[in-house]
Structure 1
Amino acid sequence: MEFGVLGEVEARADGVAVELGTARQQVLLAVLLVEAGRSLPVDRLIERIWGDRPPKRAKESLYSYVSRLRTALGAAGGPTIERSSTGYALIADPSAVDLHRFRRAVAEARGTEEGRLPLLEYALSAWRGDAFAGLDNEWLSQVRATLKEERLAAELDRDDLRLEAGQQAAMVAELTQRVAEHPLNERLAGQLVLALHLSGRQADALAQYQLARQRLAAELGVEPGTALQRLHQQILVAATPPPERWRPAQLPINIAAFAGRADELAQLDKRLADGSVAVVSGMAGVGKTALAVQWAHQVADQFVDGQLYLNLRGFDPSGSPLTPEKALRALLEGLQISAERMPMGLDAQVKLYRSQLAGQRVLIVLDNARDAEQVRPLLPESETCFVVVTSRSRLTGLVAASPVRLDPLATRDAQTLLANRIGRDRVSADPEAAEAIVELCARLPLALAIVAARAAVQPGFPLIALANELAVGRDRLAAFDGEDAATDVRAMFSWSYEALDPATARMFRLLGDSPGPGVSAAAAAALAGVTSAAAQQLLGQLVEANLVQQPHPDRYEQHDLVRMYAIELAHTTDSAAERDAALRRQLSFYLHSAANGRAALGRAAPLMEIEAPFGGIVPLQFADDRQALDWLNTMCETTLAAVQLAAERGLDRIGFEVSHLLAMAFHYRGALADLLRVHELGLSCARRTQDVLAVAIAETDLGAVNSELGRSSATIIHLERAASLFEQISSPLGHAEALEALAIENHRCGRYAEAVQLYLRSIHLTRQSDGGQGEARLQNNVAAAYLKLSQYELAIAAARKALALCAGNRRVEAYAWDNLAVAQAETGLHNEAVDSYQRALTLCDELDLQVLKSSALGHLAKLQQVLGRPDEARAMCQEALRIHAGLEPDGTSEAKRGELIAILRSLGQQ
């Protein structure tokens, strides 16, 4: 049976419509379809069907609707509506519901690089009109508005791709109508402007831009954003840019049960109008994050260039708040700055961050800050951006900041929050008990959320009984009380924790003792030594109890205070042996997942044999390199915490192995400072194992990262130790890798003759082990060193050897063709050099090697000038300058730009 809500609510069996009964019955079906497969409490169903004014016999009516729907669906051979202890659920495959097919296809399109347009076309084909057409109530209206935004976002993504595919002529009329419906949507306006431009209608495109500009000025008093202005400029100079698509949207999911805080929300509105940084401060658990996120969602549409969110973990139980460098890296990644473009050093990162935000309209939420020093480098200089910071401290060191002080909720607001979570009828039925619960929770939203979660799963339990239990639990933990009222939430934690079944309670404790800021379901399964399905069930119960947060679909985290409580329980309940076994299982999961990731990325197997999977864990498998990279991009913080914890617990062998195999995560993120710390810990672990091979590998790792950090002396010390150890144990491949790294360091420092000798020794050892790919890379490096020594014939010979050995390694091939071309041009083989440069440039385009492309074009322009082809030389030089302008600056940038400009000037005299 197929179901539809993206239009009229309908059910079809073999194409024949099923009679669904009254409008209220159809609303019930719509609610169950939106949450297909998930059990919904009776109170929540009643609220969604009737809002805050249900009839007196609402439950009886609900039961009647359920019975009639069961009969109608069952007669047509459809799924059943099941009753459980938590409520009702329609047991239907989500793929049978048009809404879930739409969302899944959109998610797949956004998670892949290929086949995106057909996926989005398929997703949008699910729509037959307005969602829930013909039905209306408060809840449906809210969901309908959300779905309308999702549909528009998918249409915008699809139309970007259609423009890229050259379908602009067929899009103008459709885009014109959509712009009329959404006149202030700058991205949509940009698509129409671009479609007109690509259709050859330049005057219409420019007129449409002016119309969009006038609308924004009249309605919002603002100029168009950078993306639309840039498109306008490009049209003026007759350029054809690709459509701008990236707009960060990182805000966490809004809290549906939010209540109160009207004064504080108004203060934030005022801070926004004033243009000052807002600092929301207050005790732990008072709802700072909830307030900031709630307000951010309310004003998000005013920030046309997106929203950034970052948890600075200022009061993390691990005692490891994000450093400004780590925080900046995360924010820059949110702005789509790749690791290759990420500069070294805090000052350079601050400059890039502020440059990226200049003129942008971006909202930045910096959550859980430790102090002003942590926040100060993260503040943009652009007046068009706005920053909200949350912290337990007032951050008075931020001179330009305006405070928003948050105290526990007012009693009425706290009662509203409780009612929003467990139902107004239940609170109204026993207001004295509800008031007692509110006061026992010290009117703290965190405590109220946890207590409400417990109460929600016991809908028939009187509130007065819950209040009495809570009072007893609080008295029992009175020894924990301190001056900060937030310590009272331990009573709530205890009360909710003691209601958990043993398996769920064990998972709760182990999560607190787990390395890193959060876990996936698969990692949690390894931690607890259970199946993935069992782990998801246990995590789901903890989420329902509000003892675990789920900020993303497969990410589970604990609030700082909750985690502190979980850690205390783990250390008093579970033995050290049990906790070490859990850590070993989790480390083993990360280790073997990393090994599978290396294989998916085509990386060579590690030199050492890694520990067998511990405790029957099931590591991740990756279908391709993209999946492996996506996972690695989430692993930096966890890897650092895991290796540190392994070293503290004496799990030295697996600690070293994790440090070695998961180093890829830091390389792909460019997080070299963290990588240095991980490899230092890894070397300490390796030395304690007294395994010479492990120590040699760890020395190589440390040498490599020191080289990337520009620490030449330390690099050479570590690599020479590694080479000696590999030679001692007769490991030719390890010895070759250490010598290659030494050669690269000498090359980097201008000692080219020494580098050549080390490369050649490494080649000799490589032939004894892997040959092929490794030797191709080495021969190309030899060619580059010979070019620096002006030994061009030898460079030609080495480059040709590299090309013969590439065997599909196109990146090495691209650089080898470029080295060969340089040497050929220097020896007078001009036509051969032109051909070699063209081959290199073709590979640059295929592999997006922009740095190499800019350099090769500049060299080829000089060669074309020598060959008497000034027009070709001028075009190539201009293209090289255009690419160069988009690259991150380094120490040689100005010199390279000066060389290109000099070529252009000389061409102007011809």
Structure 2
Amino acid sequence: MATTTGLLKRYPLRERSHELLISALRDLGRTPEALAAYARLQATLAEELGTGPSSAMRTLHLELLREGEPDESPAPPPPPPPRPAQLPPCPTLLLGRAPELAAIGERLTAEARHGTSPVVVISGMGGVGKTTLALSAAHRWASRYPDGQLFLRLHGSAAGLAPQDPLELVDAVVRSLDAALPLHRSPDEAEAFLRSLLAQKRVLLVLDDARSAAQVRTLLPNNRRCAVIVTSRTRLAAIDDAAHVTLEPLAPRASLEMLDAVVGAGTVAAEPEAAARLAELCGGLPLALRITAARLAGRPSWSVSSVAERLAAVNQRLDELDLDDLSVRGTLAVTYQGLTRIGGGLREQEAAQAFRCLGMLDLPMYSVPLMARLMDTAEDRARRAMDLLVDVALLNEISLGYYAPHDLVRDYAREKAREENSQSQTSRAIGRALQWYAAMVGRSAMTLLPEGPERRRRVPYSCDGATTVADEQEALAWCDKELINLMAVANQHARAPLGHEHVLRLAPALFPYLQRRGRTLELQRVNDMALAAARRAHNAAAKAQALVDLAASHFMRGRLESALSCTGDAAKLIRRLGDAAWERKALGNAGMLLQLLGRNSESVPVFERLLALARREGDAQGEAVYLSRLGNLREADSTRLAIRLHRRSLDIGKRLENPVLQQTAHWNIGYAHLSLNQPGAALLHFEAGLRLLAQAGSGDWHVESQTRLGVVRVLQHLDRYGPAEQSCKELLDLARSRDDTYTEGLAHWEYGNICATSRQPSEALTHWKQAWDALADTDIQGLADLEALIVRHQP
């Protein structure tokens, strides 16, 4: 009996052990103790599983109750046990999950034609509504399973509870079906017994909150008339032939519908903007939306906007998302604590460290190399840690090698970083990450720039520790991917004592990429931050570089006077620094701006002097640039002389095998031919420039955009309005993708001209107005003509 009592302590849900103890007590004449043992079993089963003892145990109980009574008549047979219907009530609120519900239904019904039981695994982060969806599906298709619908909580992520043992789960299912496992069975025998029991039945199993595939696998029937729905925070990819439904946060519309359903449509409709903000702050997480809506519904004096303000407060959102037994922080804590539990392996510990690193450096997304620097570990270990965070739904892999957490998960990561990492640990981790970013951007700049003074000036530091960048395409692709992070880094750390030094490295090294891609808005923002940081650090060289690059951003946005002002301030600083080559480049930029502003008499002597200097010093690239500038200046009085100067620049570009010099020369020659009313010759040069661009795979965006604009104008001259319109659309799309409002405005202007020629006056007016909106604050020549067009065509 001692052995049986010990088994009961270890396995309180195994009915066979209870049966042995009760029978032994009865045989020893200790009937009251036997009845008490039965009562304990009955209470345990009701509390833990929501079921009662099997029919065999109920029969034993009746025998105990009749013990000592005269046997006057045979006892009536016990009533047949009810078929199990254990599903909790069907959720009343299921919004935005129609596609997922349909996918589950398709699996449950279609799989009946095959030989195995259909299995659906619903996975997703805590609070995303997995159980709600599983129960909704189970109730909808319950009639297909007349022999019972079973619901078992597997405690895979339950706070304070160990995951249910697979053998105990088998025992629970067997009892629910009014049977008992054979005594002294092995796990394999128990699993085989369950499959035999289910072989002739039509049963639906809902297994809620599974921790692993192993916990579920022993419960899977081998009967096409049964079905299993599993919920888990992990994907359980090891379950064979399962249909996987991954739940994401709700879309904005479904989030608003949930608020409507709980709070009342009138409340939400009264403050639509605040309601949209509230849904956004909840991150589309159903649990967060339910909590917020319930709090709002319970406080009639609260407005939607006031709740949104509370949620938006820094470091307060998770405090607000807590109501009775519902808590977003608590739900996330369960998953995190699973990584930090005593006895956890090294991979779990490193995943927990990676999670805290998410809260140290707040970026839109995280790559494996970046995480390796934050963790101060090898990249393969960082990758494994991040993959585990994906497995437990604390992180999403948004593209190959890039990860991002849900906003509320990000809030919790910040909390854990503050609680469990010292300030010095955080500072060192951020420093390693910023140093790596500066090194990577430096590597990219060295790939995009030819060897020479500018490259040495922009990347004067060591790029050790950065990944090798093979070529220009790889450099551009990396910067394309990381630009959003680089801007976030600059914004967060430009003023911080720890970060401003790294930002002063990032900004100038980032310029070649931003210029190539035409990212004028980012170019201005990052150099505004760099200029402020340089002033605080009293760094004259960094201040001069930021002014030079700001001038370039203003020029690319058509703000020529601002560009000239920045260039003049930079030239004064550079002169004091004693860098003659850099000063010549600044003077060349000033000369170009003077020419564009119509101040040719001031511009010509600048370029003549610079051209002479370049020839004397053997600077062939500088010579090509200054020939091009002088060619532009000569177009006003001698277009044919201008073309000769541009051709000499083109020849030098070919000799140096410099595609940007060649593209620029073709662009300038094309516009010169256009001014001579030679559209055919102009088109040949514009097309040659675009071919060079295609061969290189990338190029200077300003040159490319002006060349494409030239193509549009040539096609109009040739009365080829269809191709002109198509080319203009392509230019608009490219400008929009770069947030280049200046080029977008120029393209709208030409589009309006095309529409006017093709007798579409209303569309022409629309495009001209859009052009005016984009160009009104620029210094571009001809704005008065655009304004006159708009006035003349007003209805």
TM-score by length of 1: 0.44
* One-letter amino acid of the counterpart of residue 328, structure 2: V
Aligned to 2:408: 561
Contact 2:292 2:321 in 1 (8 A): no
Matches within 5 A, 1:136-151: none
Cα separation, partners in 2 of 1:607 and 1:554, compared to 1, 3 Å: same
Q: Aligned partners of 1:762, 1:45: CA distance in 2, in Å?
A: 83
Asked if 1:819 is matched to 2:668, the reply is yes
Q: Secondary structure at the match of 2:256?
A: strand
* One-letter amino acid of the counterpart of residue 541, structure 2: L
Q: Secondary structure at the match of 1:551?
A: strand
* One-letter amino acid of the counterpart of residue 424, structure 2: A
Report Cα offsets for 1:712-735 as digits up to 9, x if no partner: 443223211211222222223422
Aligned to 1:662: 510
Report Cα offsets for 1:601-641 as digits up to 9, x if no partner: 4566251444435xxx7423333433332322222331222
Aligned to 1:841: 687
Runs of 5+ consecutive residues of structure 2 not aligned to the other structure = 1-113, 120-155, 157-162, 168-172, 193-210, 215-223, 230-242, 263-270, 294-315, 341-347, 695-703, 733-743, 760-795
User: Which of 711, 715, 727 lines up with 1:883 in the alignment?
Assistant: 727
Q: Aligned partners of 1:731, 1:590: CA distance in 2, in Å?
A: 28
Q: Give 1:800 shift.
A: 2.4
Aligned to 1:367: none
Cα separation, partners in 2 of 1:850 and 1:731, compared to 1, 3 Å: closer
* One-letter amino acid of the counterpart of residue 355, structure 2: F
Q: Secondary structure at the match of 1:659?
A: helix
* One-letter amino acid of the counterpart of residue 256, structure 2: V
Q: Give 1:480 shift.
A: 8.2
* One-letter amino acid of the counterpart of residue 527, structure 2: H
Asked if 1:407 is matched to 2:535, the reply is no
Q: Give 1:836 shift.
A: 7.2
Matches within 5 A, 1:533-552: 533-552=380-399
Q: Give 1:520 shift.
A: 0.6
Report Cα offsets for 1:390-422 as digits up to 9, x if no partner: 524899xxxxxxx99952699xxxxxxxxxxxx
Aligned to 2:543: 695
Cα separation, partners in 2 of 1:749 and 1:826, compared to 1, 3 Å: closer
Asked if 1:60 is matched to 2:188, the reply is yes
Contact 1:632 1:665 in 2 (8 A): yes
Contact 1:646 1:655 in 2 (8 A): yes
Output the aligned Cα RMSD: 5.5
* One-letter amino acid of the counterpart of residue 786, structure 1: R
How many matched pairs? 487
Matches within 5 A, 1:565-576: 565-576=412-423
Q: Aligned partners of 1:479, 1:818: CA distance in 2, in Å?
A: 55
Aligned to 2:457: 607
Runs of 5+ consecutive residues of structure 1 not aligned to the other structure = 1-22, 29-40, 47-51, 65-84, 89-134, 141-253, 272-277, 287-369, 377-388, 396-402, 411-477, 863-872, 905-910
Asked if 1:585 is matched to 2:432, the reply is yes
Contact 1:706 1:714 in 2 (8 A): yes
Q: Give 1:533 shift.
A: 0.5
Q: Aligned partners of 1:624, 1:374: CA distance in 2, in Å?
A: 48
Higher relative contact order (CA 8 A, sep 6+): 2
* One-letter amino acid of the counterpart of residue 520, structure 1: S
Asked if 1:504 is matched to 2:405, the reply is no
Aligned to 2:564: 716
Q: Aligned partners of 1:394, 1:785: CA distance in 2, in Å?
A: 56
Aligned to 2:630: 782
Q: Give 1:642 shift.
A: 0.9
Aligned to 1:98: none
Q: Aligned partners of 1:375, 1:669: CA distance in 2, in Å?
A: 34
Q: Give 1:257 shift.
A: 5.3
Q: Secondary structure at the match of 1:790?
A: coil
Q: Aligned partners of 2:283, 2:351: CA distance in 1, in Å?
A: 37
Aligned to 2:46: none
* One-letter amino acid of the counterpart of residue 890, structure 1: G
Q: Aligned partners of 1:659, 1:825: CA distance in 2, in Å?
A: 38
Q: Give 1:532 shift.
A: 0.5
Report Cα offsets for 1:122-169 as digits up to 9, x if no partner: xxxxxxxxxxxxx999899xxxxxxxxxxxxxxxxxxxxxxxxxxxxx
Q: Aligned partners of 1:858, 1:850: CA distance in 2, in Å?
A: 13
Q: Aligned partners of 1:755, 1:527: CA distance in 2, in Å?
A: 51
Q: Give 1:554 shift.
A: 1.6
Q: Give 1:903 shift.
A: 13
Aligned to 1:728: 576
Q: Secondary structure at the match of 2:457?
A: coil
TM-score by length of 2: 0.50
Asked if 1:489 is matched to 2:333, the reply is no
Q: Aligned partners of 2:213, 2:750: CA distance in 1, in Å?
A: 70
Q: Give 1:659 shift.
A: 2.1
Aligned to 1:855: 710
Report Cα offsets for 1:764-820 as digits up to 9, x if no partner: 666688934454344323312321x22335413421221121133345324424534
Q: Give 1:681 shift.
A: 1.3
Q: Aligned partners of 1:822, 1:564: CA distance in 2, in Å?
A: 55
Q: Aligned partners of 2:642, 2:275: CA distance in 1, in Å?
A: 50
Report Cα offsets for 1:857-879 as digits up to 9, x if no partner: 855997xxxxxxxxxx66x6775
- Which of 690-699 and 882-891 deviates more? 882-891
Q: Give 1:555 shift.
A: 1.8
Aligned to 1:677: 525
Report Cα offsets for 1:509-563 as digits up to 9, x if no partner: 2221114212111111112221110111221232233332323332222222332
Q: Aligned partners of 2:118, 2:613: CA distance in 1, in Å?
A: 73
Q: Aligned partners of 1:555, 1:86: CA distance in 2, in Å?
A: 25
Q: Aligned partners of 2:582, 2:275: CA distance in 1, in Å?
A: 41
Report Cα offsets for 1:306-349 as digits up to 9, x if no partner: xxxxxxxxxxxxxxxxxxxxxxxxxxxxxxxxxxxxxxxxxxxx
Contact 1:780 1:812 in 2 (8 A): no
Aligned to 1:739: 587
Q: Give 1:597 shift.
A: 2.2
Q: Secondary structure at the match of 1:556?
A: strand
* One-letter amino acid of the counterpart of residue 662, structure 2: E
* One-letter amino acid of the counterpart of residue 593, structure 1: M
Q: Aligned partners of 2:426, 2:256: CA distance in 1, in Å?
A: 39
* One-letter amino acid of the counterpart of residue 279, structure 1: L
Cα separation, partners in 2 of 1:880 and 1:502, compared to 1, 3 Å: closer
Q: Aligned partners of 1:813, 1:702: CA distance in 2, in Å?
A: 26
Q: Aligned partners of 2:166, 2:620: CA distance in 1, in Å?
A: 65
Cα separation, partners in 2 of 1:846 and 1:804, compared to 1, 3 Å: closer
Q: Aligned partners of 1:757, 1:636: CA distance in 2, in Å?
A: 40
Q: Secondary structure at the match of 1:550?
A: strand
Report Cα offsets for 1:487-506 as digits up to 9, x if no partner: 93333444443442554333
Aligned to 2:280: 391
Q: Give 1:648 shift.
A: 3.5
Structure label with greater radius of gyration: 2
Report Cα offsets for 1:87-144 as digits up to 9, x if no partner: 78xxxxxxxxxxxxxxxxxxxxxxxxxxxxxxxxxxxxxxxxxxxxxx999899xxxx
Matches within 5 A, 1:353-432: 372=273, 390-392=279-281, 406-407=289-290
Matches within 5 A, 1:247-326: 256=245, 258=247, 279-280=256-257
Q: Give 1:749 shift.
A: 2.8
Q: Give 1:374 shift.
A: 12
Report Cα offsets for 1:353-377 as digits up to 9, x if no partner: xxxxxxxxxxxxxxxxx9839989x
Q: Aligned partners of 1:778, 1:632: CA distance in 2, in Å?
A: 30
Aligned to 2:100: none
Q: Give 1:834 shift.
A: 6.3
Cα separation, partners in 2 of 1:27 and 1:580, compared to 1, 3 Å: same
* One-letter amino acid of the counterpart of residue 511, structure 1: L
